[in-house]
DNA sequence: TCTTCTCCTGAAAGCGTTTTCACGCGCTCA
DNA sequence: TGAGCGCGTGAAAACGCTTTCAGGAGAAGA
């Protein structure tokens, strides 16, 4: 049970070879004679040895660590996707023998601590989540840190990102509503501080324009992604525009609120008013129906981000990626 | 911009002192003359130096890392709490100058890789999430790894854990139903593989017994935490026992399904049937009402786990903790 | 047979810190 | 005034690994 201190030297001794040889075996150097490889591996297994990361890092300069950085000012906390994304990241990193370092920090203040934690030599790369401002990230990039952003940075930014096709998904959703015959299509938009919120609204607008329908401000209401805010937004919308016969809701949680309001007002879904959500968060029914929604591959988002960062660490220059979304037609539209 | 290689030796040189002195300043050794401290700090700022973790780890033997380990066989992924817990952990660790290492791995197979990643010297401590089997964890504990479990391990286990008061919360919820006059209280239980599922069911049972109501198997249906399964369970329940006038649902997502079914069947909530959930996941309305539910402090759970692990790293022997839950009475019961 | 390669191996340097140890200095206390 | 003390400092060893370098043993070529 005293695994306390088994070093490479120990196993060199019991295997009767030099430390250098052990190191070579560990790193798969093909030049070592097979019988020695055998002896070394046996010794490793026997003594239950595992190499000391710190020592290895010290000489190679590679930490084997990739940081996943979340702006704590952002409430991604309660987002159910957060778990899936981190899972995607963690597993993809793991397969490439990296570990994920989790950092939930305020990014907007000029906090030197986050920069220090990510300075060269501390981690090999980093993945940032949808940020308010890019300053810190740009600084780190200039310092030579391989990094990718999950979500969409400012258009002018040079940052490499990976994102779901929020725009395309919103277009699909809205087109679907138009195609099924809705004449007055409204939207409950999400937080416009976030690129996902902006793009889903823009997709709605674009689909309308493409269908030669004028964009009408009075058909847009804003929520903050919560079910509550969705309900409130839908209420406002209906009060001013009772003629609405279709609504694209920027996420499923708000759609939950929307469905509730529609039921309270006795509006039949989808006959009187059709509803499309975004996220595919609920497998089951919302009110009387199953929600038609846009699905995104959240775990894939994380995995992609991880593989891109690894690519950059290996000296590659991957370009930004937008992952496709797909419309899942169920009962509400 | 060439932060590439600034070492302690560099700043020793520009400050005109020995490396040893710089190290002492870095570690707040009080014995260094104030003017030298001043000189050193100036040099540090000037050169933008930050100490190399690996080198430090190598000599001190402390990594400054705490692993957060999740069984990937478990689908905590989609659990919205996962984000909050990790946030709690990450922030609490950060305050104590530790970093969180995220590991999503299969724990039930005899995977040596997870043990190797957590062997002494790789991390200072670990936090495990509700596990199916304790073998790996016990092994690591025997190897001297400071660790705490989030969730409830087997009763016989020696593991230190932190958990919400699932039992107490369920008792509260059920008592509330009884107190408001429900005569036939059913429950939609969660996954019985998980301690939370078992304890919430047990709490329901205990509250009944305490109120001198016989526990009746036909009033129990099982779901798997999803809204779909909640709806199915409630349907089954009502088919066999139309006399039910109150139901404790083991989580809010299933309660969402339950509410839908009740509405479909035209049952008035809470007059004909009262509903209490668990988790306080939805701020808004479910169907026509706002859900009465049991709230747990998820982020606090993570923070507590982190502080306990730190305590253990510092040589302490914290005992297990059960965090209180509270009943939030709204409209459905 | 003697050189020249090739192949495998070990010795040793070095990665950037912390920490022990010893030293010199200026005091205080007999 | 001399012994002793505490304090601040630097030299150097150590942490566990990788990697360069050089050497020894054969094999191949002359």
The chain-wide mean pLDDT, for chain B, equals 90
CB contact under 8 Å between B226 and A284, yes or no, is yes
Q: What is the pLDDT of residues A235-281, one digit of tens each?
A: 999 999 999 999 999 999 899 899 989 988 999 999 999 999 999 88
3-state secondary structure of A18: coil
User: Is the separation of the CB atoms in A245 and A184 below 8 Å?
Assistant: yes
CB contact under 8 Å between A53 and B63, yes or no, is yes
Q: What is the pLDDT of residues B244-282, one digit of tens each?
A: 999 999 999 899 899 989 988 999 989 999 999 999 888
Helical axes A81-95 vs B81-95, angle rounded to 10°: 70
Nearest C-alpha neighbor of A317 from the set A163, A151, A147: A147
Report the residue from B3, B82, B99 with minimal CB separation from A143: B3
- The integer distance in angstroms from the CA atom of B95 to the C1' atom of D10 is 34
Q: Which residue is nearest to nucleotide C9 (CA to C1')?
A: A21
DSSP of A177-219, one letter per residue? HHHTT-SSEEEEE--TTSHHHHHHHHHHHHHHHHTT----GGG
What are the angstrom distances between the C-alpha of A267 and each of A223, A263, A287, B86, B266?
A: 21, 6, 12, 41, 17
Q: What is the pLDDT of residues A104-157, one digit of tens each?
A: 887 766 667 778 788 878 899 999 987 666 788 888 888 889 999 998 888 878
Start-to-end C-alpha separation, chain B = 62
Q: Residue A226: its chain B contacts at CB < 8 A?
A: 283-284
Q: Please state whether beta strands B293-295 and B326-328 pair in parallel, antiparallel, or not at all (unpaired).
A: antiparallel
Contact residues for strand D with beta carbon within 7 Å: A 5, 7-9, 19-20, 22-24, 26-27, 49, 51-52, 55-56, 58-60; B 17-21, 24, 30-33, 36, 55, 58-59
CB contact under 8 Å between A78 and B82, yes or no, is no
What are the angstrom distances between the C-alpha of B9 and each of A121, B14, B17, B38?
A: 16, 9, 9, 17
Name the strand (E) or helix (H) holding B129.
strand B125-129
Find, in chain A, the residue whose alpha carbon is nearest to that of B139. Answer: A1
Size of interface A-B (CB pairs under 8 A): 183
- The integer distance in angstroms from the CA atom of A49 to the C1' atom of C30 is 60
Start-to-end C-alpha separation, chain A = 62
Nearest C-alpha neighbor of A179 from the set A287, A284, A270, A296: A270
CB contact under 8 Å between B116 and A50, yes or no, is yes
What pLDDT is recorded for position B109?
Answer: 64
Q: Residue A82: its chain B contacts at CB < 8 A?
A: 82-83, 86
The chain-wide mean pLDDT, for chain A, equals 90
Nearest C-alpha neighbor of A58 from the set B28, B7, B125, B124: B7
Dihedral angle of Cα A198, A201, A202, A207, to the nearest 10 degrees:
160
Q: How many CB atoms lie within 10 A of CB A266?
A: 7
Report the residue from A77, A119, A264 with minimal CB separation from B87: A77
Report the residue from B77, B101, B230 with minimal CB separation from A99: B101
Diameter of chain A by CA atoms? Answer: 85
What are the angstrom distances between the C-alpha of A65 and each of B54, B103, B233?
A: 12, 12, 45
Q: Which residue is nearest to nucleotide C7 (CA to C1')?
A: A31
Shortest Cα–Cα distance, A209 to chain B (Å): 33
Find, in chain A, the residue whose alpha carbon is nearest to that of B61. Answer: A54
- The integer distance in angstroms from the CA atom of A24 to the C1' atom of D27 is 25
Helical axes B53-60 vs A53-60, angle rounded to 10°: 140
Alpha carbons B27 and B19: distance in angstroms, whole number: 12
CB contact under 8 Å between B286 and A257, yes or no, is no
What pLDDT is recorded for position A2?
Answer: 41
Q: What is the pLDDT of residues B82-128, one digit of tens each?
A: 888 888 899 899 999 999 999 888 776 666 777 888 887 889 999 99
Nearest C-alpha neighbor of A292 from the set A263, A261, A255: A255
Which bases of chain D are contacted by protein, using any atom under 7 A from a CB? 7-12, 14-20
Q: What is the pLDDT of residues B114-125, one digit of tens each?
A: 788 888 788 999
DSSP of A29-98, one letter per residue? -TTS-HHHHHHHHHHHHHHT----HHHHHHHH----EEEEEEETTS--TT-THHHHHHHHHHHHHHHTT-
CB contact under 8 Å between A58 and B63, yes or no, is no
Alpha-carbon Rg of chain B, whole angstroms?
26
Alpha carbons B84 and B305: distance in angstroms, whole number: 13
CB contact under 8 Å between A122 and B53, yes or no, is yes
Q: Residue A3: its chain B contacts at CB < 8 A?
A: 119-120, 143-144
Report the residue from B63, B78, B91 with minimal CB separation from A104: B91
- The integer distance in angstroms from the CA atom of A39 to the C1' atom of C1 is 38
Alpha carbons A81 and A297: distance in angstroms, whole number: 10
Task: Tell me what the mean pLDDT of segment A196-203 comes to.
Answer: 95
Of the residues B68, B102, B105, the best mutation for testing chain A's interface (the one with the most A CB atoms within 10 Å of its CB) is: B102
Q: Provide the b/e sequence for B171-199 (b: ≥16 CB within 10 Å).
A: bbbbbbbbeeebebbbbbbbbeebbbbbb
3-state secondary structure of A103: strand
Alpha carbons A237 and B164: distance in angstroms, whole number: 40
**Does B1 score more than 60 pLDDT?**
no
Q: Which residue is nearest to nucleotide D18 (CA to C1')?
A: A59
Q: How many CA atoms lie within 13 A of A207 on its CB side?
A: 28
Nearest C-alpha neighbor of A148 from the set A72, A79, A74, A93: A93
> What domains sit in chain A, N to C, each tagged with a CATH number?
3-51 (1.10.260.40), 65-163+299-323 (3.40.50.2300), 166-295 (3.40.50.2300)
Q: What angle do CA B286, B292, B297 make, to 5 degrees?
A: 105
Q: What is the DSSP letter of A115?
A: H
Q: Please state whether beta strands A326-328 and A292-295 pair in parallel, antiparallel, or not at all (unpaired).
A: antiparallel
**Confidence tier at A74 by pLDDT (50, 70, 90):** low
Alpha carbons A168 and A176: distance in angstroms, whole number: 12
User: Is the separation of the CB atoms in B3 and B48 below 8 Å?
Assistant: yes
Alpha helices in chain B (DSSP H): 8-15, 19-26, 34-47, 53-60, 81-95, 112-118, 135-142, 166-179, 195-210, 227-240, 252-264, 298-313
CB contact under 8 Å between A82 and B77, yes or no, is no
More confident residue, A116 or B61: B61
Which bases of chain C are contacted by protein, using any atom under 7 A from a CB? 7-12, 14-20
**Does B288 score more than 80 pLDDT?**
no
CB contact under 8 Å between B83 and A84, yes or no, is no
Q: What is the DSSP letter of A279?
A: E
- The integer distance in angstroms from the CA atom of A14 to the C1' atom of C20 is 31
């Amino acid at each position: 049970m005293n695994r306390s201190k088994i070093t490479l030297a120990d196993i060199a001794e019991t295997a009767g070879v030099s430390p250098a040889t052990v190191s070579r075996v560990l790193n798969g150097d093909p030049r070592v004679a097979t019988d020695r490889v055998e002896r070394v591996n046996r010794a490793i297994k026997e003594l239950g040895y595992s190499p000391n990361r710190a020592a290895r890092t010290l000489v190679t300069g590679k930490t084997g660590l990739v940081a996943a950085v979340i702006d704590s000012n952002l409430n991604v906390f309660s987002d159910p996707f957060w778990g899936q994304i981190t899972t995607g990241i963690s597993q993809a990193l793991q397969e490439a023998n990296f570990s994920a370092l989790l950092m939930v920090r305020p990014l907007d203040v000029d906090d030197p601590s986050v920069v220090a934690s990510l300075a060269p030599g501390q981690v090999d790369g980093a993945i940032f989540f949808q940020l308010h401002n890019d300053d810190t990230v740009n600084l780190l990039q200039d310092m030579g840190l391989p990094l990718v952003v999950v979500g969409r940075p400012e258009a002018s930014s040079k940052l490499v990102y990976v994102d779901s096709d929020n725009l395309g998904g919103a277009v699909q959703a809205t087109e679907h509503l138009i195609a099924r015959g809705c004449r007055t299509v409204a939207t409950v938009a999400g937080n416009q501080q976030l690129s996902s919120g902006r793009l889903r609204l823009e997709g709605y607008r674009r689909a309308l324009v493409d269908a030669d329908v004028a964009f009408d401000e009075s058909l847009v209401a804003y929520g903050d992604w919560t079910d509550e805010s969705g309900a409130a937004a839908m209420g406002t919308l209906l009060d001013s525009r009772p003629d609405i016969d279709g609504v694209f809701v920027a996420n499923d949680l708000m759609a939950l609120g929307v469905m509730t309001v529609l039921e309270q007002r006795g509006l039949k879904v989808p006959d009187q008013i059709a509803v499309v959500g975004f996220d595919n968060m609920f497998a089951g029914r919302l009110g009387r129906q199953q929600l038609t929604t846009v699905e995104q591959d959240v775990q894939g988002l994380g995995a992609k981000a991880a593989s891109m960062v690894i690519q950059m660490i290996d000296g590659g220059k991957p370009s930004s990626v937008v992952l496709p979304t797909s419309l899942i037609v169920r009962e509400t539209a």
